[in-house]
Amino acid sequence: EAGVAQSPRYKIIEKRQSVAFWCNPISGHATLYWYQQILGQGPKLLIQFQNNGVVDDSQLPKDRFSAERLKGVDSTLKIQPAKLEDSAVYLCASSLALAGVNEQFFGPGTRLTVL
Amino acid sequence: AQSVTQPDIHITVSEGASLELRCNYSYGATPYLFWYVQSPGQGLQLLLKYFSGDTLVQGIKGFEAEFKRSQSSFNLRKPSVHWSDAAEYFCAVTNAGNNRKLIWGLGTSLAVNP
């Protein structure tokens, strides 16, 4: 089966610019996650969707970050305006369902560099 | 507070040597435990998981881990390391509540000498 797809793989922008990342989860996976991984650290959950509803966005900096999951499938994460400290790898993951504990499958990530 | 500690930031082993990566957790409820591996420029791949039952779990790529409730540990082991095992290894914990949010360790970077 196809894995989690993300694009772009790399992005370089200047501070105060905006950027968007796209994620296509594994077909049939109801739960979708966006993580931020700063170099040398573990992933930090930004937002979790169940179908097209938000389950947890407690660590999403809502003044500059936004995310949506159209029709409960693809998702986009946007940063506007970007700051230097947003330089990180942004990982998308999906899992079958919220009920029970299911493995999360990760995409390759988008490496963002903010200059 | 819920937390995962990976005491070793960086480990170097020789190819063919045995490996043990440590993971300790602090979690009030029954934990569900995971080990993920991240190769350079790649996403995270699940190595193995523990939900219940036999406390020694087998994973992919020849890895295994043992859940020890009395020590709040879930250490990852491999009897003979290959050069391709060089990567970052993350331990994570969740439970059936809490929206299944994964609590992650900071990772252990593994280098393998030829």
The pLDDT tens digits of the residues spanning B31-67 come to 889 999 999 878 899 999 998 888 999 999 999 999 9
pLDDT for the residue numbered A99: 59
pLDDT for the residue numbered A40: 83
pLDDT for the residue numbered B68: 94
- A9-18, B20-29, B68-77, range with the lowest pLDDT: B20-29
Comparison of pLDDT for B11 and A39, the residue scoring more = B11
pLDDT for the residue numbered A98: 60
Question: How many distinct helices (H) and strands (E) make up chain A?
Answer: 0, 11
Q: Do the strands A10-13 and A110-114 form a parallel or antiparallel pair, or are they unpaired?
A: parallel
Give per-residue pLDDT as tens, A86-108. Answer: 999 999 999 986 656 678 899 99
pLDDT for the residue numbered A1: 63
Report CB contact under 8 Å: A104, B46. Answer: yes
Which tokens belong to A58? Answer: 């407690």
| Residues in chain A, pLDDT under 70 | 1, 97-101
On average, the pLDDT of chain B sits at 91
What is the average per-residue pLDDT within B11-33? 92
| Nearest one of B76, B57, B56 to B7, comparing CA atoms | B76
Residues in chain A closer than 8 A to B106 (CB atoms)? 40-42
Does residue B51 belong to the interface with chain A, where contact is any CB pair within 8 Å?
yes
Report CB contact under 8 Å: A108, B94. Answer: no
Comparison of pLDDT for B1 and B42, the residue scoring more = B42
pLDDT for the residue numbered A4: 95
Q: How many residue pairs bridge chain A and chain B with CB atoms within 8 Å of each other? A: 53
Q: What string of DSSP letters covers B29-69?
A: S--EEEEEEE-TT--EEEEEEE-SS-SEEE-GGG-EEEEEG
Residue B20 confidence (pLDDT) above 60: yes
| Nearest one of A60, A55, A29 to A45, comparing CA atoms | A60
What percent of chain B shows pLDDT beyond 70? 95
Give the three-state DSSP class for B100. helix
- Check the CA dihedral A35-A39-A41-A42 and report its sign: positive
pLDDT for the residue numbered B98: 54
On average, the pLDDT of chain A sits at 92
